[in-house]
Amino acid sequence: MSIRLDGIHFLVTYRCTYACEHCFLWCGAEAESTMTLAQLEGLMGQAAECGIRNVYFEGGEPTLAYPVVLEAARYAQRAGLAWGLVTNCYWATSVEDAMVWLRPLADLEISDLSLSSYAYFVEDADETKLRNAVVAARKLGLSPAVLEVGAPACIEEPRTSPEDVAAVMHKGRAAEKIAPHRASRPPRELVTCPYEDFADPGRAHVGADGELQICQGISAGNVLANGIAAVLDAYDPTARPIIRELLAGGPVALAEAHGHTPLRALYADECHLCYEVRAALRSQGRHPDVLLPSQCYGG
């Protein structure tokens, strides 16, 4: 079996100006791993040859490597790939400054600009920056999407209450920092993966480590070592450890197949148990070629 992808999301850097509690990737100021332009261009060239049509530059905070991202965007353009960028707007100190930051994206005809706001989870996050970025983007003729964790974003409408914040998937840092406070479901309920279509994932993520992640911390193979085409050709969700058990019966099946007894009586969601099992297996040195990259497990 092999698969096709529509898109690749480049985790340009795991470094970030924030360290959100809900971050799947344990990003923060201390994270070092950043993709080189050569890696990005090499993978985009392969992606285009594989029929992949779009790429995203995200992270971490991709604008921490902004000149490299812009050069990579030019390459994407030449390769016929639609491209997008996700940013946390830390740079939008005023509307005027935000326009300076965003103008190169407008000039390069970005396909999809996503601006994120994580003020619910980061005490020092400043919502003014998100507003500055949205206003600047619109002045430049861009139509940004606004990502607010759990609160479907409409910047014109005030958010009502913290109860609106939902839909955090509890993996990575979120599994440790947020999930314990939201646990309400017994493990026996967690019998599917509600979020990933392992047979047809549509998109996958890759960072400087080269691991093609079907879900954060679950690698289909290393595309820097083996190439995108070879990894996609070899991918079989019914045979690849971790994925095959999740396909068969979700996090419960994953735990049972590996002799893992759930550590808690209640879980926040499927990802909470899935992450617990995977982190435990990783600490035992099991499935070291699948449970990657280490960044997804806190380093």
Contact residues toward ligand SF4 (CB under 6 A) are 16, 18-20, 23, 25, 27, 59-61, 88, 118, 169, 171, 193, 195-196, 215, 218, 246, 251, 270-271, 274-275
Pick between residue 118 and residue 235 the one whose CB is nearest to ligand SF4.
118
Smallest separation (angstroms) from ligand SF4 to the CB of 141: 26
List Cβ<8 Å contacts ≥24 apart for 282-287: 286/258, 287/241, 287/242
Smallest separation (angstroms) from ligand SF4 to the CB of 60: 5
Q: How many angstroms separate the CA atoms of 107 and 62, rounded?
A: 18
List of residues 6+ apart from 206 with CB closer than 8 A: 8, 9, 10, 11, 43, 212, 213, 223
Smallest separation (angstroms) from ligand SF4 to the CB of 249: 11
Pick between residue 54 and residue 295 the one whose CB is nearest to ligand SF4.
295
Pick between residue 40 and residue 255 the one whose CB is nearest to ligand SF4.
255
Smallest separation (angstroms) from ligand SF4 to the CB of 235: 15
Smallest separation (angstroms) from ligand SF4 to the CB of 209: 16
Smallest separation (angstroms) from ligand SF4 to the CB of 10: 13
Pick between residue 5 and residue 20 the one whose CB is nearest to ligand SF4.
20
AA letter at 168: V
Smallest separation (angstroms) from ligand SF4 to the CB of 45: 26
Q: How many angstroms separate the CA atoms of 157 and 141, rounded?
A: 21
Pick between residue 48 and residue 130 the one whose CB is nearest to ligand SF4.
130
Smallest separation (angstroms) from ligand SF4 to the CB of 208: 15
Of 215, 213, 211, 244, give the one whose Cα is nearest residue 226: 211
Q: How many angstroms separate the CA atoms of 146 and 127, rounded?
A: 12
Which residue intervals of the chain are DSSP H helices? Answer: 37-49, 66-78, 95-107, 127-139, 173-177, 223-226, 228-234, 243-257, 270-283
* DSSP secondary structure code for residue 158 in this structure: P
Q: What's the token pair of residue 59?
A: 């992270």
Count of CB atoms situated within 10 Å of the CB of 157: 9
Q: What's the token pair of residue 179?
A: 């999930």
Pick between residue 75 and residue 270 the one whose CB is nearest to ligand SF4.
270
199-213 residues labelled b (16+ CB within 10 A) or e (exposed) = eebeebbbbbbbbbb
Label the pairing between strands 218-222 and 211-215.
antiparallel
Q: What are phi and psi of 33, to 5 degrees?
A: -65, 120
